[in-house]
Amino acid sequence: MTTDRHESIYDRGEMYEAFYRGRGKDYTGEAALVTSLVRDRLAGADSLLDVACGSGDHLTRFAESFGHVEGLDLSEDMVQLARKNTGVPIHRGDMRDFALDRTFGAVVSLFSGVAYCADLDELTATLRSFARHLSPGGVIVIEPFWLPEDFLEGYVGTDTVESGGRTYVRVSHTVRDGGVSHMEVHFLVASAESGITHFHDVHRTTLFTRDEYETAFARAGCEVEYVKDPLAPRGLFVGTATPTA
Ligand SMILES: C[S@@+](CC[C@H](N)C(=O)[O-])C[C@H]1O[C@@H](n2cnc3c(N)ncnc32)[C@H](O)[C@@H]1O
């Protein structure tokens, strides 16, 4: 057994993928929900950019409904994995400031990636980057982190997942540090060949309020709605560019 070490799960894309697939994350249902939210507002939307796309598991589903899809992520490991999984253009970039050479009918960011923004200025910069990449009438969908009123102080999460011949045990402990969620995650990874390895990761995400999310959309020139769905217990913010007079 190796000693405990600190490592980002986002630098271990294949493990992220195996864990969330094995845990049964409903990428198909989530992509269908987001697609319908987009098409309800722009029926002809046929292109989509997934920002902080991770392993690309949503993108493979979006590619079945949209004629053109692309992804973007900060982590080189995730970028390589998403390219392999999807075969579509995946850009390495920072959601807070990126420039691609085209626009999209939809720009989405799922599973709370936007909560890695450290403050409202960064969240506003992120929404402005998204809005700059919208075609006329285009739609932004973001899945926030838990809103402060839904945050569970001291929450302990435990999961054991069997996937690809390996066993993954994940234990998390989350506490509030002012306006920030501090989640420590420990992973045990075990297989017959490699025995047991152990690493831990720390995620600091901002507990933005609903008002802060809505302010960031407004500053990016968008109208926004907050919708809840059983497939998205953290809710989804759905934005469209404010029509100019
Ligand atoms: C919780 S994962 C979500 C991945 C994917 N959207 C999903 O639903 O599985 C968060 C992702 O955000 C990415 N990320 C974190 N900070 C970022 C930034 N500043 N710009 C772009 N991506 C970022 C990470 O590399 C990681 O892939």
Eight-state DSSP code of residue 4 = P
Calculate how far, in angstroms, residue 46's C-alpha sits from the geometric centre of ligand 1. 23
pLDDT, tens digit, for every residue of 48-63?
A: 999 999 999 999 999 9
Mean pLDDT of 3-14: 86
Atom of ligand 1 at shortest distance to CA of 112? 1
Answer whether residue 164 shows pLDDT above 90: no
C-alpha span between 130 and 50 (Å, rounded): 10
Mean pLDDT of 21-36: 96
Q: Give the binding-site residues of ligand 1, using a 6 Å CB cut-off.
A: 10, 52-54, 58, 73-75, 78, 94-96, 110-113, 116
Q: Answer with the residue of higher pLDDT: 14 or 244.
A: 14
**DSSP element (H, E) containing 219:** helix 210-219
Ligand 1, from 17, 49, 75, 83: best to mutate by most atoms within 8 Å of Cβ?
75
- CA-nearest residue for atom 25, ligand 1, is 75
C-alpha span between 233 and 205 (Å, rounded): 17
Calculate how far, in angstroms, residue 108's C-alpha sits from the geometric centre of ligand 1. 12
Amino acid 188 reads L
Q: Where is average pLDDT lowest: 96-105, 133-142, 158-167?
A: 158-167
Tell me the two tokens of residue 143: 């899945």
**pLDDT for position 181:** 98
What's the mean per-residue pLDDT of the chain? 95
User: H-type helices in 27-150, by residue range?
Assistant: 27-41, 57-62, 76-86, 120-132
Eight-state DSSP code of residue 10 = G
**pLDDT for position 5:** 82
**pLDDT for position 7:** 85
C-alpha span between 10 and 82 (Å, rounded): 12
C-alpha span between 93 and 219 (Å, rounded): 22
C-alpha span between 30 and 135 (Å, rounded): 23
Question: Which residues lie across from 206 on neighbouring strands?
Answer: 180
State how far Cα 245 lies from the chain centre. 34
Ligand 1, from 53, 107, 112, 123: best to mutate by most atoms within 8 Å of Cβ?
53
Let me know: does 88 contact 71? Beta carbons within 8 Å: yes
What structural domains does the chain harbor? Answer: 10-147+208-241 (3.40.50.150), 148-206 (2.20.130.10)
pLDDT, tens digit, for every residue of 88-104?
A: 999 999 999 999 999 99
Atom of ligand 1 at shortest distance to CA of 20? 9
Let me know: does 238 contact 224? Beta carbons within 8 Å: yes
C-alpha span between 93 and 52 (Å, rounded): 9
How many secondary structure helices (H) and strands (E) does the chain include? 6, 12
Calculate how far, in angstroms, residue 83's C-alpha sits from the geometric centre of ligand 1. 15
Q: How many CB atoms lie within 10 A of CB 223?
A: 13
pTM for the full predicted model: 0.96
Answer whether residue 128 shows pLDDT above 60: yes
Tell me the two tokens of residue 189: 């990874």
C-alpha span between 109 and 133 (Å, rounded): 13
Atom of ligand 1 at shortest distance to CA of 94? 20
State how far Cα 182 lies from the chain centre. 17
**pLDDT for position 4:** 74
Amino acid 16 reads Y
Atom of ligand 1 at shortest distance to CA of 116? 16
Answer whether residue 1 shows pLDDT above 60: no
C-alpha span between 135 and 150 (Å, rounded): 34
**pLDDT for position 152:** 96
- CA-nearest residue for atom 19, ligand 1, is 94
